[in-house]
Amino acid sequence: MKEYDKKVNLLHLVETLGMGGAEMMLLHYTRALGTEFYQHYVYCFGRDGPIRKKIENLHVPVRMGPRRASIKRPINFGVSHLALVKDLLRFIRKHRIQIIQSHLGHANQLGVAVGKLAQVPTFPTVHNTKFLDRRSNFDPRVHLIKAVDAVVYRIADQVVAVSQEVKEIIQEMYGLSDYKIVVVKNGIIFGNSFIEPADLKREFHARPDTLKLIAVGRLTYQKALEVLVRAVAELVKRGLEDLLVLIVGDGEERLRLEDLILNLGVGRYVRLLGIRHDVMGLMKASDLFVLPSRYEGLSIAMIEAMACGLPIIASDVPGLRHYIENEQNGFLFPVEGHKALAERILQLADDKKLRDRLSHEVRETFERNYDMRKNIAPLSLLIQKFVSETQIFK
């Protein structure tokens, strides 16, 4: 990258700092771009969370801006939005922000609007295919959001998609030209390949021969973790009882999952662990990674599982089917098909040679495709292009 007189002041705009995939990618973007040419800033206008400390440990300032009121209270919603826009504009001017990269829906909408007001190039980043969720087709707010997104992505300076598949979907959905969207493929910086496996024997009394499954993600409708719980009940019914299933994450579906686990009588097999800071250690101690999502972008948890060499069983949805080659580096099963998922788990439980082969293939997939130090190049070039153009026209 060209050496400028000063570092590029880059603002990352997010709504939350929880342990979601987009928030984790913010961390990896910051690490991959580095600090030699960039002064990073993070502005969050919603819920605080554990990612904040990880970002601050990289010596990146984090600003917690005013939170928005609920849209169910329109007057308060409008007033809070004005306060948020005013605070964000003041922050941009104070720190002489040159580029804004926003992450996910509300942040993308806010980022593009404020970027236009401040005359700062803005790159809204599309992390998943949530717009394919058909649950709320009769909710007028959903159609309003989609209409707003269509305008936002058309007037944005550039749109970033986390995979070629996501690019093609939003291109078709919003009528965007090919040059408008840049793919910056998700990845991670796997800096410590010597992460110790977690001690599952001490924590969960797991025996060496116990089949250990792990799923990682927010406990939401999107992640469909009830499908995994139902699959466990099916496995037990079919005689596989030496089994431990770890579900890492938290969210609004936790109570429903707890009730389902209780009603199906699988509490001795399924553990809801909440937020953990040793996820890759848990992965390294597990045998299989399960991702039963209803929709995805390019899952960070899946990439972490690949880095750990974990065979992957994933739902056959956009955002997963292009990255899991069935029976080559993992298995696919039909969306919401808990019996098919149970069948895949049984197949791998009975065949260690197959597990070992998939483990080798999935690790090679990671090394070829998901090293963020390589994948960051298109974003770095994009920033360089817009900063150079801004300097020319000033």
Same domain, 377 and 359: no
User: 71 lies in a domain?
Assistant: yes
How many Cα atoms within 13 Å fall on the side-chain side of residue 237? 12
Same domain, 154 and 234: no
User: 194 lies in a domain?
Assistant: no
Same domain, 94 and 125: yes
Would you state the structure tokens that stand for residue 58, as one six-digit string?
């990289």
Q: Give residue 139's pLDDT.
A: 65
Q: Give residue 2's pLDDT.
A: 47
Provide the sign of the torsion angle of the four alpha carbons 180, 13, 6, 86, taken in this order. Answer: positive
Q: Give residue 75's pLDDT.
A: 84
pLDDT at 138 over 80: no
pLDDT at 393 over 50: no
CATH number (domain holding residue 333) = 3.40.50.2000
Q: In the structure, what pLDDT confidence band is assigned to residue 194 with cuts at 50, 70 and 90?
A: low
pLDDT digit string, tens, across residues 251-284: 999 999 999 999 999 999 999 999 998 999 999 9
Centre a 10 Å sphere on the Cβ of residue 62 and count the other Cβ atoms it contains: 18
Same domain, 289 and 376: no
Q: In the structure, what pLDDT confidence band is assigned to residue 131 with cuts at 50, 70 and 90?
A: low
Q: Give residue 44's pLDDT.
A: 96
Mean pLDDT of the chain: 90
Same domain, 385 and 347: no
**What values do phi and psi take at 301, rounded to 5?**
-60, -40
User: 3 lies in a domain?
Assistant: no
Q: Look up tokens 């969370």; give the residue.
A: 49
Q: Give residue 190's pLDDT.
A: 74
Number of domains in the chain: 2
Q: Is residue 295 a contact partner of residue 128, using CB atoms and an 8 Å limit?
A: yes
User: 233 lies in a domain?
Assistant: yes
User: 151 lies in a domain?
Assistant: yes
Q: Give residue 65's pLDDT.
A: 94
pLDDT digit string, tens, across residues 346-367: 999 989 999 999 999 999 999 9
More confident residue, 375 or 298: 375
pLDDT at 238 over 90: yes
User: 389 lies in a domain?
Assistant: yes
Q: Give residue 192's pLDDT.
A: 52
Same domain, 302 and 336: yes
User: 175 lies in a domain?
Assistant: yes
pLDDT at 135 over 80: no
Task: Provide the H-helix boundaries in the chain.
Answer: 21-33, 51-56, 74-94, 105-118, 140-155, 164-174, 200-204, 225-237, 254-264, 279-284, 300-307, 338-349, 352-369, 372-375, 377-393
Q: Which domain holds residue 131?
A: 8-189+372-393
pLDDT at 318 over 90: no
User: 195 lies in a domain?
Assistant: no
- Output b/e per residue, 94-124; b: 16+ Cβ within 10 A: eeebbbbbbbbbbbbbbbbbbbeebebbbbb
Region of poorest pLDDT, from 170-179, 182-191, 200-209: 182-191
Rounded CA-CA distance 366/379 in Å is 20
Share of the chain above pLDDT 90, in %: 73
Same domain, 226 and 355: yes
Same domain, 210 and 184: no
Rounded CA-CA distance 157/140 in Å is 28
pLDDT at 136 over 70: no
pLDDT at 147 over 70: yes
The crossing angle, in degrees rounded to 10, of helices 21-33 and 300-307 is 60
pLDDT digit string, tens, across residues 29-68: 999 999 999 999 999 999 999 899 999 999 999 999 998 8
Q: Give residue 37's pLDDT.
A: 94
Q: In the structure, what pLDDT confidence band is assigned to residue 319 with cuts at 50, 70 and 90?
A: confident
Q: Give residue 3's pLDDT.
A: 45
Q: Give residue 39's pLDDT.
A: 96
Rounded CA-CA distance 305/96 in Å is 39
Q: In the structure, what pLDDT confidence band is assigned to residue 394 with cuts at 50, 70 and 90?
A: very low
Burial of 352 (0-12, 13-18, 19+ CB in 10 A): exposed
